[in-house]
Amino acid sequence: MRAETAARPAIRVRGLEKAYGQQAVLRGVDFEVARGSIFALLGSNGAGKTTTIKILATLLRADAGTAEVNGFDVTTQPGQVRESISLTGQFAAVDGILSGRENLVLLAKLRHLDDPGGTADDLLARFSLTDAATRRVSTYSGGMRRRLDIAMSLIGNSAVVFLDEPTAGLDPEARIEVWHLVKELAGSGTTVLLTTQYLEEAEQLADRIAILHQGRIIANGTLAELKELLPPAQIEYVEKQPTLEEIFLAVIGDETHAQGAR
């Protein structure tokens, strides 16, 4: 990568607008994403998160504004943008008839990699799917399908990965698995832009968080910077009760240990 390109943000969005008929969805969106970071676009359903992702992935054309991904303009250089990215949508885009390994090999061949089989085996091991490699994906759990979907997004070593609500519909254990995978992605130098409506997910994963509301970015910063927008917290001493998620994971862990001891 040239020094000039490396110095640019991985994603730069300026004045992005999009409407469907008379319904304005994006009303002048601006943000930047640093290379190798995790950026969370946080908002409720209908806020415009998926529309933003589709524009950045060249699947949809904006009505106004500009956007660059990996230094390439999404409107005038769509081919270079597509070569730079991978996209994982809200629903796992895997073939249920094929096995996990066959899904990975097929995509590796489509991307013209030299060793599709080796690439598939490496990813299966990385995502703890080796034991299920030859099983049909239709037999996978939701968490396994999502892990396979993210594994497929890594084929070709894309500089930027878009994850559109990556944990939607997953149980707490599978959600935490995906969180670990996302952190590993960024740790390897990949830039991750994820959309979510889960506050805890953004808090756990993101280096920066942008809140998208009614088509506009109304706040953008690190978690510490966003906390400064509120008045200082009052210190109170209260009894802390475990959350339902903590109870669920503790019980699952105890049951797993018990089965292993039999």
Q: Any idea what the CATH number is for the domain that residue 228 is in? A: 3.40.50.300
User: How far does CA 140 lie from the centroid of its chain?
Assistant: 20
More confident residue, 241 or 219: 219
Q: How far apart are the first and last CA of the chain?
A: 54
Q: How many independent structural domains does the chain possess?
A: 1
Domain membership of residue 187 as a residue range: 3-95+157-261
| Closest C-alpha to 18, from 54, 69, 72 | 54
Tell me whether residue 131 is in a domain: no
| Closest C-alpha to 103, from 135, 142, 128 | 135
Indicate the pLDDT class of residue 242, thresholds 50, 70 and 90.
confident
Tell me whether residue 81 is in a domain: yes
**Pairing mode, strands 191-196 and 38-42:** parallel
How crowded is the C-beta side of 251, counted as CA atoms within 13 Å? 8
Tell me whether residue 129 is in a domain: no
Q: Which residues of 143-174 are buried (b: 16+ CB within 10 A; e: fewer)?
A: bbbbbbbbbbbbbbebbbbbbbbbbbebebeb
Q: Evaluate if residue 11 carries a pLDDT over 80.
A: yes
Confirm if 139 and 168 have CB atoms less than 8 A apart.
no
Tokens representing residue 12 in the block: 């730069």
Q: What is the 3-state secondary structure (H, E, C) of 201-240?
A: HHHHHCCEEEEEECCEEEEEECHHHHHCCCCCCCCCCCCC
Q: What digits encode the pLDDT tens for the residues 54-103?
A: 999 999 999 999 999 999 999 999 999 999 998 887 666 788 899 999 99
Tell me whether residue 255 is in a domain: yes
229 by Cβ neighbours in 10 Å (0-12 / 13-18 / 19+) ranks as exposed
What pTM value is reported for the model? 0.80
Q: What digits encode the pLDDT tens for the residues 18-65?
A: 999 999 999 999 999 999 999 999 888 888 999 999 999 999 999 999
What pLDDT does residue 36 have?
93
Confirm if 36 and 207 have CB atoms less than 8 A apart.
no
Tell me whether residue 112 is in a domain: no
Tell me whether residue 146 is in a domain: no
223 by Cβ neighbours in 10 Å (0-12 / 13-18 / 19+) ranks as middle
8 backbone φψ class: left, alpha, beta (φ>0; ψ -120 to 50): beta
Tell me whether residue 43 is in a domain: yes
Tell me whether residue 137 is in a domain: no
